Amino acid sequence: CWIKKKSDYPESVMRNYLEALHLGTLMAAHGYFFPISDHVLTLKDDGTFYRFQTPYFWPSNCWEPENTDYAVYLCKRTMQNKARLELADYEAESLARLQRAFARKWEFIFMQAEAQAKVDKKRDKIERKILDSQERAFWDVHRPVPGCVNTTEVDIKKSSRMKNPHKTRKANTLTNHLYYSQKLMPLLSRNSLLGYTEQYVEYDPFLTPPDPSNPWISDDTTLWELEASKEPGQQRVKRWAFGIDEVLKDPVGREQFLKFLESEFSSENLRFWLAVQELKKRPIREVPTRVQEIWQEFLAPGAPSAINVDSKSYDKTTQNVKDPGRYAFEDAQEHIYKLMKSDSYSRFIRSSAYQELLQAKKKVKNTTQTH
């Protein structure tokens, strides 16, 4: 029905004919039907008669016949004096090879073949012919003619995966991880970009009118007055809560952060970080002297403002100081930065000092709006 339906379109008759022939050849190669008078399991458009295989012999039953079973079958064929059951050359060679391989148990194999031959003789003639052809087709699938494709062979890649289930599981896990990463990464990137945009939108003068307004395009000089007084506006103070980088890059933010740490008697970490940042901008001739000063103040044994760094960073810094350069304290600075980010910065944002500063700027703003 499928082939007939496909062939109803004249422009694709040849293509559908080849497709149907290929599908039929695959079914024959797997033993679902077979030519009555040929060992080569293929489909030919030449009037050859075919017979459907009994479901008992279908490959879907996961047959894995052993060589002893094949030896019994070939031995039984030699006992039946029928021209149609004569062994082909490759079958005779297989029988001789199996007889040598199973020499010690050949008597048992011969007895089994003899018993099966006696049972077959008791069957009806037509039934015996059909059963013989079906059994022969079964072995043509599992022990094919030399040169034909063996459809029962396990693919070497599948076999390798079966022998290494842990490696296969790991490969599948990595494949799934890569698949979901490719789907999730664009989504995460988009969400990150949207979050950043929403957070900083009020600081973009193209999107949000600045408050106080730009004195270059208005008559309001409040911005200049605030800068002259070095008093940060509300937006500036609010921005410090976005992250420690916002505090460190703002001179007033650094000053307020340092005051807070001094009130807790723990300002050495920030002072060290600022000293290293300043070192990177020093003229090269001043670098060696400044490196020694920083070392003596923060890292040397008995230093007056000793900082707490891990042993790996300390050892690396000790080696770097022997050949002083602008980046001699890079590892120690990175370690201190992480400490401030996870500890002192969080305490600063939650502190009453920051909250009072933020509220004070709100009050100033409200007072200005009232006037």
Q: Is residue 10 part of a domain?
A: yes
51 φ, ψ (degrees, to nearest 5): -130, 140
My answer on whether omega of the bond before 212 falls inside 30° of 0, hence cis, is yes
pLDDT of residue 279: 95
Residue 10 and residue 127 in one domain = yes
Q: Which long-range CB contacts under 8 A does 336-341 form with residues at least 24 apart?
A: 336/269, 336/272, 336/273, 336/307, 336/309, 337/244, 337/273, 339/269, 339/308, 340/244, 340/269, 340/270, 340/273, 341/244
Q: How far apart are CA 56 and CA 64, in angstroms?
A: 13
Q: Name residues of the chain where pLDDT drops below 50.
A: 1, 3, 6-7, 367-368, 370-371
Residue 148 and residue 174 in one domain = no
- CATH number, domain of 135, equals 1.10.1240.60
First to last CA, the chain: 91
pLDDT digits (tens, 9 = 90+) for 217-238: 888 888 777 766 667 777 888 8
Which H, E and C letters describe 291-354, residue by residue?
A: HHHHHHHHHCCCCCCCCCCCHHHHHHHHHHHHCCCCCCCHHHHHHHHHHHHHHHHHHHHHCHHH
Q: How many domains does the chain have?
A: 3
Residue 127 and residue 192 in one domain = no
pLDDT of residue 193: 82
Global pTM? 0.48
- CATH number, domain of 283, equals 1.10.167.10
pLDDT of residue 313: 93
pLDDT of residue 74: 87
Q: Is residue 132 part of a domain?
A: yes
pLDDT of residue 56: 84
Tell me which amino acid residue 242 is: F
Give the end of a domain, one of 138, 171, 203: 203
pLDDT of residue 312: 93
**CA max distance for the chain:** 122
